[in-house]
Amino acid sequence: MKRIINGFEVDCASERVFAERQTAPKYEYLFEVSADRKRIVRCVHISTIGGDSDNPDAERFEKDARHAVEEFLGLERGG
């Protein structure tokens, strides 16, 4: 189920969770999560949507995306 959390559209597929920043500059993040879906293992991909791929903000926004994914995983577990 897709959710909007802290300005990110978050969706899951098996042991991967996608987070897309909804406002400019837009970035997509792909996180690998544990099999029990309780924690993030690592960020496996960052991409820019219609912007400068060398923008240093991508890493800064990764922290925000990580928090949104952590909240998403908590909601999916029911709490």
What is the full per-residue pLDDT of the chain (79 aa) written as tens digits? 899 999 999 999 888 999 999 998 899 999 999 999 999 999 998 888 776 666 777 888 999 999 999 999 999 888 6
Strands (E), 1-79: 3-5, 8-13, 16-21, 26-33, 40-49
The order of strands in the sheet holding 40-49 is 3-5, 8-13, 16-21, 26-33, 40-49
Total-model pTM: 0.88
Residue type, 6: N
